[in-house]
């Protein structure tokens, strides 16, 4: 019987804009569905009626040739069957098992061809005939549909790289496709790890306009490109547009532009904003297992001692760090680390605990702090050392010129170990601060402390004077460590 397919109605079909066509099952099914929704559906109905009216006026080719085939087949014990041979524009496209399938194949193919060739396209003729065939020769409806489409859609057969169901690039050969994929994946290979595509990526046959077929290099550039993924972010307390932008690696201005509903200064915790993050078109995930030697910090054990002053800390056992091997599983998507998981830890050496005794006794004001302050704020007229021309011998302290009667303060807390006249030093006070550290205050006018007295840091011990070997009122200040004069500048803070 004959099917005369004509485009007499103005069809509105979304698939006209479709550039790619898959040869997969799904697209054929979709196509059929869309066919039914369009005006072709009406055409279908009218044609079906027409076919029913004609009835099963199936033409057997009553030729000698036909009987010969049956005879030969029976002789050779071939399992014979009947099928419907589809002929379009005078060309044989194969045999399907039912009349319905034959009709469907022709209509589906026609619809797909029109989608590419335009509304004016029509088959010169299309028909199907009941024929005896070997069962093995019966083909699927999809296969026949595809053969018809391939013959008349004017497109070129190609291989598409399909990323998450969408053909992203079309290539001349599937070898090119697989080479490109292996090149992309190879760029993310690590020495020990495994890689795989994070997207569903396949190479599949497709039909495209000839100029849509890309060279390998062009295709690679497309696949290495990025697209924006739109994520939502719930604003946390303290976050700002700029801090969120930084976290996602996007521009602050861009982040504000995609969230025009929010005034930046009124961004509140709990609000939901949109973040557009550029993501690679094809993502390669690599998983690597690496071992890193890490330090185990030593623990510290402190024992309290009420006989020692606060701030005193004596280490009895020194702490020693331990070592361990940590096995990490590191997951990266296109080099960016997305997960770091500890698989195992092996202790190589156990750390030694530091044991320290810490003082808890409250310090009296007279206890030394260990830090000296300047005893008098007069002008420095002679420094420590031999540089001063006035002094034939090394100057053992610092001279502060001042006014007779000005108060002189203890440089730190301690015990008075001398208070009185000391030859050329005149009236002098010496204070011991413990650990062999002493301070001396000479040429005093008056002394207000006595031998053995505890003095607090900064408390007055006497006044500036001009006693002993002195040419004017000044304070001669010395610092001695185990009896040896040291440069006071090294001790004063």
430 binds Zn ion (CB under 5 A): no
Taking the least distance from each CB to Zn ion, the nearer of 141 and 399 is 399
Distance CA 303, CA 21 (A): 79
Residue 286's DSSP bridge partners are: 195, 332
256 contacts 264 by C-beta, under 8 angstroms? yes
Segment near Zn ion (CB under 5 A); pick from 176-184, 227-235, 291-299, 473-481: 473-481
The least CB distance from residue 238 to Zn ion, in Å, is 59
427 binds Zn ion (CB under 5 A): no
User: Could you tell me the end-to-end alpha-carbon distance of the chain, in angstroms, rounded to an integer?
Assistant: 112
Taking the least distance from each CB to Zn ion, the nearer of 113 and 440 is 440
285 binds Zn ion (CB under 5 A): no
Segment near Zn ion (CB under 5 A); pick from 189-197, 313-321, 332-340, 393-401: 393-401
Segment near Zn ion (CB under 5 A); pick from 64-72, 136-144, 293-301, 391-399: 391-399
Distance CA 27, CA 204 (A): 13
Instruction: Report which residue's Cβ sits closest to Zn ion.
Output: 476
Distance CA 249, CA 243 (A): 10
Segment near Zn ion (CB under 5 A); pick from 38-46, 144-152, 329-337, 392-400: 392-400
Residue 11's DSSP bridge partners are: none
Beta strands in 235-312 (DSSP E): 272-280, 284-296, 300-309
Distance CA 197, CA 201 (A): 7
478 binds Zn ion (CB under 5 A): no
Taking the least distance from each CB to Zn ion, the nearer of 283 and 401 is 401
Length of the chain, in residues? 493
399 binds Zn ion (CB under 5 A): yes
Q: How far is CA 131 from the centre of its chain?
A: 64
| Tokens at 305, concatenated | 């001692």
Find where tokens 């830890």 sit.
Answer: 345
Nearest by Cα to 88 from 45, 147, 163: 147
Find where tokens 């207000």 sit.
Answer: 448
Query: Given candidates 414, 476, 479, 491, which one binds Zn ion under the rule CB under 5 A?
Result: 476
Segment near Zn ion (CB under 5 A); pick from 11-19, 81-89, 176-184, 399-407: 399-407
The least CB distance from residue 356 to Zn ion, in Å, is 42
The least CB distance from residue 407 to Zn ion, in Å, is 19
The least CB distance from residue 397 to Zn ion, in Å, is 5
The least CB distance from residue 428 to Zn ion, in Å, is 11
Binding site for Zn ion (CB under 5 A): 399, 476
């Amino acid at each position: 019987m004959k099917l005369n397919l004509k485009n007499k109605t103005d069809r509105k079909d979304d698939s006209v804009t479709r550039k790619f066509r898959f040869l997969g099952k799904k697209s054929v099914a979709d196509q059929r569905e869309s066919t039914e929704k369009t005006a072709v559906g009406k055409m279908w109905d009218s044609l079906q009626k027409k076919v029913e009216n004609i009835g099963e006026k199936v033409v057997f080719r009553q030729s000698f040739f036909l009987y010969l085939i049956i005879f030969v087949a029976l002789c050779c014990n071939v399992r014979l069957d009947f099928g419907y041979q589809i002929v379009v524009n005078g060309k044989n496209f194969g045999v399907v098992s039912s009349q319905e399938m034959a009709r469907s194949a022709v209509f589906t193919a026609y619809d797909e061809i029109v989608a590419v060739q335009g509304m004016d396209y029509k088959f010169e003729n299309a028909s199907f005939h009941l024929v005896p065939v070997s069962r093995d020769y019966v083909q699927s409806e999809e296969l026949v549909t595809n053969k018809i489409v391939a013959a008349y859609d004017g497109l070129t057969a190609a291989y598409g790289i399909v990323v998450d169901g969408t053909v992203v690039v079309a290539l001349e050969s599937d070898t090119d496709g697989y080479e490109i994929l292996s090149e992309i994946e190879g760029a993310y290979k690590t020495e020990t790890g495994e890689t795989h595509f994070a997207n569903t990526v396949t190479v599949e046959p497709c039909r495209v306009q000839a100029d849509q077929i890309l060279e390998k290099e062009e295709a690679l550039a497309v696949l290495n490109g990025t697209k924006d993924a739109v994520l939502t972010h719930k604003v946390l307390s303290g976050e700002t547009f700029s801090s969120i932008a930084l976290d996602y690696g996007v521009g602050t201005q861009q982040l504000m532009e995609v969230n025009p509903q929010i005034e930046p200064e009124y961004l509140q915790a709990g609000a939901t904003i949109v973040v557009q993050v550029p993501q690679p078109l094809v993502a390669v995930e690599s998983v690597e297992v690496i071992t890193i030697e890490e330090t185990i910090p030593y623990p510290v054990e402190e024992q309290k001692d009420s006989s020692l002053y606060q701030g005193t800390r004596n280490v009895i056992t020194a702490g020693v760090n331990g070592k361990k091997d940590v096995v990490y599983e590191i997951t990266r998507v296109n080099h960016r680390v997305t997960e770091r998981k500890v698989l195992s830890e092996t202790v190589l050496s156990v750390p030694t605990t530091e044991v320290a005794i810490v003082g808890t006794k409250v310090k009296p004001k007279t206890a030394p702090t260990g830090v000296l302050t300047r005893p008098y704020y007069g002008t420095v007229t002679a420094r420590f050392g031999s540089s001063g021309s006035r002094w034939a011998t090394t100057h053992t302290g610092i001279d502060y010129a001042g006014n007779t009667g000005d108060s002189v303060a203890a440089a730190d807390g301690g015990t008075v170990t001398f208070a009185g006249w000391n030859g050329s030093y005149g009236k002098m006070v010496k204070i011991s601060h413990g650990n062999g550290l002493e301070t001396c205050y000479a040429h005093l006018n008056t002394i207000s402390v006595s031998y053995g007295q505890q003095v607090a840091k900064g408390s007055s011990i006497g006044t500036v004077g001009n006693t002993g070997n002195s040419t004017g009122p000044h304070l001669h200040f010395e610092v001695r460590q185990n009896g040896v004069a040291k440069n006071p500048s090294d001790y004063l803070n």
